[in-house]
Amino acid sequence: MPSGRAITGILVLAALVFPGCSGGDGISSSTGTFEPVRADTLTVMTQPMPTAGFWEGTRENPTGGFEYEMAVDLAERLDLGDVEVRTAPFSAIVAGRLGGADLAMSLITPTADRDQVLDFTTPYIDAAPALLVREGTEIPDVHTAQEMQFAVGSDTTFETIVKEDIRPDAEPLRFENRNREIRAVLDGRADVAMFDLPAAEAIVNDDDRLAITAKLSSTEPIAAALPDGSTNVDAVGSALRAMEADGTIDSLSEKWLGTSITDSENSVPLLRTGS
């Protein structure tokens, strides 16, 4: 990982050097050709910060996180000197409104609808949906889950998963802001919220009042999203696959989520829904 960072204006820029390559626009390497929107800069869109474990700090001053450090490493592999962070609501991101960014990283699952307005890399995580509850709450079976008040993120795939797989008695509460969704569980307005397992691990690692009670058997792919028609998909996808192959992704998971991706999947009980 890079050792030096400089702050320019409201943007936090990570100074990176990639041996054996030359910087600039239209970088060609073993990962393919990458044409940055802004010279020598990887511009990354994510949802409003902070998101525990994934994007720490603020847009103006990122301090770390799993996806943030993935972006820094990605910039290095693409021979780019800087990382610029932009933010937008998750619903705007998955609607294809990337605000001129090169790509978005925000635990995004490719879907048929999203594929109409975005291009996706191959996945860098496959994650099971997980049930986040207050510490001490148990959900031993789907019948118990159906009696609970769910919270879900607006325009996330969890809206469909809760509706079709859990089928709760009460209409789920929908939240545009992830931190407000977590707050609803903490203050009792909701009994349970659904997140991708890595996100749930990060939330629990950050707040010991919360716990993961179960996961579903299915998994969802998590990928980087690029503007529709982007010529950079192959370059970004190749770099992400290299990060997975050399252990970078698992190492960042241990650092920021408190557990490796593999260990997390193996340690959480399975909730059988019968779907």
Residue 208 lies in a domain: yes
Residues in the chain: 275
Q: Is the pLDDT of residue 259 over 90?
A: no
- In this prediction, residue 4 carries a pLDDT of 37
d(Cα 208, Cα 2) in Å, to the nearest integer? 31
Return mean pLDDT, the chain.
Answer: 88
Domain match, 115 and 226 both: yes
Q: pLDDT digits over 68-92, tens only?
A: 999 999 999 999 999 999 999 999 9
Number of H helices, E strands in the chain: 9, 17
Domain match, 39 and 175 both: no
Domain match, 250 and 205 both: no
d(Cα 96, Cα 98) in Å, to the nearest integer? 6
Final residue of a domain: which of 215, 241, 267? Answer: 215
| Amino acid occupying residue 271 | L
Label residue 275 by pLDDT band (50, 70, 90).
Answer: low
Residue 18, classified by CB atoms within 10 Å of its CB into exposed (0-12), middle (13-18) or buried (19+), is middle
The helix (run of H) or strand (run of E) holding residue 129 is strand 129-134
Residue 197 lies in a domain: yes
Residue 270 lies in a domain: no
Provide the 3-class DSSP secondary structure of residue 173: strand
Q: Check if the beta carbon of residue 41 is closer than 8 Å to that of residue 29.
A: no
Residue 139 lies in a domain: yes
Number of domains into which the chain is organized: 2
Domain match, 15 and 119 both: yes
d(Cα 45, Cα 85) in Å, to the nearest integer? 6
Domain match, 87 and 183 both: no
Domain match, 194 and 227 both: no
**Over residues 152-171, mean pLDDT:** 96
Domain match, 100 and 139 both: no
Final residue of a domain: which of 191, 215, 239? Answer: 215
Q: Check if the beta carbon of residue 212 is closer than 8 Å to that of residue 137.
A: no
Domain match, 120 and 49 both: yes
Residue 77 lies in a domain: yes
Place of tokens 């996100």: 199
Q: pLDDT digits over 104-137, tens only?
A: 999 999 999 999 999 999 999 999 999 999 999 9
Q: Check if the beta carbon of residue 67 is closer than 8 Å to that of residue 28.
A: no
pTM confidence score? 0.83
Domain match, 109 and 227 both: yes
Q: How far is CA 210 from the centre of its chain?
A: 19
CATH number, domain containing residue 15: 3.40.190.10
H helices of the chain, in order, are 66-77, 90-94, 142-146, 158-161, 178-186, 197-206, 233-245, 248-257, 261-267
Q: pLDDT digits over 221-242, tens only?
A: 999 999 999 999 999 999 999 9
Containing structural domain, residue 19: 4-125+221-258
Q: Is the pLDDT of residue 29 over 60?
A: no
Provide the 3-class DSSP secondary structure of residue 159: helix
Label residue 267 by pLDDT band (50, 70, 90).
Answer: confident
- In this prediction, residue 271 carries a pLDDT of 95
Residue 183 lies in a domain: yes
Domain match, 52 and 115 both: yes
Domain match, 237 and 106 both: yes
Domain match, 40 and 98 both: yes
Residue 267 lies in a domain: no
Residue 268 lies in a domain: no
